Every structure is written in C-alpha cells, then in structure tokens.
Amino acid sequence: MRQEKIWFVTGASSGFGLIWTEAALQRGDKVVATARDPKKIDNLVKTYGDSVLVLPLDVTKRDAVFGAVEQGHHHFGRLDVILCNAGYAYMSAIEEIELSEARANFETNVFGTLSVIQAALPLLRAQGSGHILTMSSIGGVASFPTAGIYGATKFALESLTESLAGEVAGFGIKTTIIEPGSFSTGFGAARKMAPTMDVYDDLRHAIRAGFKPETTGNPLATAEAILSLVDVEEPPLRLILGDWLLPILKDVYQERINTWENWAKVSNSAQGTQS
C-alpha cells in the first residue's frame, strides 16, 4: 500500500505549482501550499480541508522561508517532497539588461530556491528521507538569445542541484532537476522585460517565430509524470518534460563534443609541462 506523502510547494498558486499541488491532494497526499498571495489558493482548503496547509510566502524573504518550512513540518509531522517551484523569467538581450532586474531574477529563482533547500535539509536529514525537486528548464541546458539572465538562473540551479545530489545522497535524500519545455501554464504572462533596443528587434522576432505551437504541451499531462517521479525508489537526477526535447538536447551536447574535439590540439597544448 502506498504511503501518503507530505509536500512543501513554493509558487503553488499557478502553473505547475498549482497543477502538481492539486494532483498530490487528489490522490490523498498532504501539501503545505505556499504563495505570495495565499488568497488565490483558499479554494484548496474548501476542497481538501485538513489535507492542505496554505501559507503566505515570498521566497526572497529568507527568514520567512525558514519559518514556513518549520511551520509546515510541525503541522504535518514530516516533509517528504520539497518542490522548489517559485520563479519567473526576465527576458532581454544582454545589452538591454537592467542590473537591478537581473539581481531580482536571481533572488527569486536561485537564492529563493537555496533558502528553501537550506531550511528543509536539517529536517530531511533528521528523518533520513526526502526528495528535493528544483525547477530548471530546457533553458537550463541550452540558452538562447534574449534569455541570457533567465537562462543563467536555470544554469545556476542545475549546478547547485547537481552538487546537492552528491552531498545529501548519503543521508537518504533524493534530488531531481525538472527540465520542462514549453507548456501553456501562463508562465509567459509573468515574465519581465527590459526596455527594448531596436537593433535587437529582428532577432527577437526570429526567436519567437522559432517556437512552434505544436511544441507547446498540455501542463495537466505533467502531473502523472511528477507523481511517478516522487514514487520511485531511485529517481533520476534530471527529468525532461515534453516529447520534443530529447533530440534537441542530444544535438546540443553533440555540438559541444564536436567543438571540444575539434579544438583538442589547442586545448591539450594549454596543459604545458612541469618545469
């Protein structure tokens, strides 16, 4: 018989956060659902009662993060799945970027996630179990023009989570980086942009034209994948979501390998010799 799981979810009021929160509740799990505006998910309490604890949380407020994680743990007695979902996209060409907005994007996507992980780890180590999920993107594996800062936050999360996996496996804690493609979650509506420069408009239009409608997935279909992920004994370090990503990622890695091989003579010569 499957044991119920206790989830702690950031950014639970919309998109994947809301979809996966409801999927967990519908199958009988319990969830600490956090959001900047908890009123947006008050209906979860009406529907699922004591199975859900709704808390206000801005992940950029580190003390609040630690307080919410502790409160959720105390309320349900343990935490099994930590879903670090809160985040948004700051999309601009590198020359257009406003430094304050770039820092703000890192504060939410990277340092907010770091705070949640650091708040949860002592509790997970004490119970000898747990599964931490961080939200990356295909943009965390291969960046593209006009997404430099957003991609940088996701690259940072990939590195942070990969390091984390090696550090906590010995404590019985599992770790997975979730890498979605394009889904109709409303994520784009929450993105921010710097004032644009005309010189990058043609490139911007070309990038947008490259995203085909047929590659946009149904976010509701991801719920089963995530539930399967948290139920397996040995989850993967990385999980892509979407049926068109794997060939693209193979090409990305092959191009990198080709470049390294083509420049191997120069690279090897940089080793030098010991004097």
Give me the active site residues, please: 136, 150, 154
Q: Determine the angle formed by the axes of helices 222-231 and 15-26, rounding to 10 degrees.
A: 60
Pairing of strands 6-9, 81-84: parallel
Question: What's the rounded Cα separation, in Å, for the pair 3 and 29?
Answer: 9
- Angle at the Cα of 128 from the Cα atoms of 126 and 133, rounded to 5 degrees: 100
Side-chain-facing half-sphere of 198: CA atoms under 13 Å: 0
Question: What's the rounded Cα separation, in Å, for the pair 45 and 28?
Answer: 14
Instruction: For residue 178, give both structure tokens.
Output: 């979730």
Of all helices (H) and strands (E), which one includes residue 210?
none
Distances, alpha carbon 215 to alpha carbons 8, 212, 222, 225, 238, in Å: 30, 6, 14, 18, 20
End-to-end CA distance of the chain: 65
Contacts of 115 (CB under 8 A, 6+ apart): 59, 62, 65, 66
Distances, alpha carbon 239 to alpha carbons 66, 136, 226, 246, in Å: 27, 10, 9, 11
